[in-house]
Structure 1
């Protein structure tokens, strides 16, 4: 049922730290479409730390305050880099029947046949090119790209300026650090980055990475343990 134009919509950016503050302008842009169903769209941060009542011009609510709010419709996305926390928060909000809202910067680009799951954050100058399959609550940071024919799991994070070339498969909860470069794989034989893997800042990945392995350097190698 359509909302009356006077009814209120509440959009929550979960977190109030650095990344959450960076994506609030993207949230404002992405929320413009909601004004077609309501004239009153309010954006807030949702955070445990309530020492600041207002951050960058937006109010800060606790989770309980957000859930108790009487807005006609509520939407959310998660501005927290830790993928396990991101999953836990998203499941909690979904259980409260709060709908995920993709945050896509005006300059973010997707090409043909790109399938991205709910809750994506696509920052400025990010690109997902053709024939990509990307999971839920994906973070694609500033100037990062995913090239053709890649398969990316749920709760994956690309830091700024990541270069992920074609035919790459990345497992759930992987983290790809700032400026990392992932070499292209082959059709039918993608370069594999396992679930929970961490690729360090500036690393150059030239071969498969096992699950839950941290790699650094050029070429990327498992980080030595002390």
Structure 2
């Protein structure tokens, strides 16, 4: 089962600058989110590995190689949807003295019972209700909702429009696809999405999913 994160005051220290690791669509969304939480565009940069360096700027913000060291020591967000790739890049950034930043859209109203870990991203339109635990480096994307008594594991990705009913436990590095629906568990028997599991776009999950499994369809079945 995912462990509970530590930080219950995720907005206590917002970054005044940000290195976004990754220069694709998710990276541009992170740049928009960062500006909404108060990071000036002039203090936002993108960083990618040298072999992926293509553009000098994106939306007016500079792009650097990670290897150049320009972003060493900066607050950072790894803008990669794949949970395991995001974890590996986060480890690389930490080794370069970058500091994972937590970004929560200002329109999200977090109840005092919600616990949020380090490096979490919560995008516009996200709804999180009560007694929810969100682990380090989890990303909850545009318009997703997480209901009461859910646990989101370290590094999990909750894609846009996903819906989690109450008492759902999402494992470490699990990936929940676009618009999927996870029905409720109970306090004594939560519905568990196992570590490294993948739930396909539009799937409706009505029972627990084994670690590492991929499920698709309505109702969701192993691929």
TM-score (norm 2): 0.87
CA spacing shift, 1:69–1:220, aligned 2, 3 Å: closer
Counterpart secondary structure, 1:27: helix
Partner residue, 2:131: 131
Q: How big is each residue's C-alpha offset from its partner over 1:156-199, in whole Å with a ceiling of 9 and x where there is no partner?
A: 00111000011011110100011100001001210011101110
Partner residue, 1:59: 62
Q: Which structure 2 residue ranges, 5 or more long, are not aligned?
A: 1-15
Q: How big is each residue's C-alpha offset from its partner over 1:61-105, in whole Å with a ceiling of 9 and x where there is no partner?
A: 11122x3458xx620011111111110111111122221111222
Instruction: Answer with 1 or 2: which has the greater Rg.
Output: 1
Partner residue, 1:21: 28
The 5 Å alignment of 1:1-226 reads: 10-32=17-39, 42-48=43-49, 49-65=52-68, 67-68=69-70, 74-223=74-223
Whether contact under 8 Å (1:162, 1:180) holds in the other structure is yes
How many correspondences in the alignment?
Answer: 206
Q: Which structure 1 residue ranges, 5 or more long, are not aligned?
A: 1-8
Whether contact under 8 Å (2:64, 2:70) holds in the other structure is no
Report which structure shows greater RCO (CA 8 Å, sep ≥6): 2
- Give distance in 1, aligned partners of 2:83 and 2:215: 18
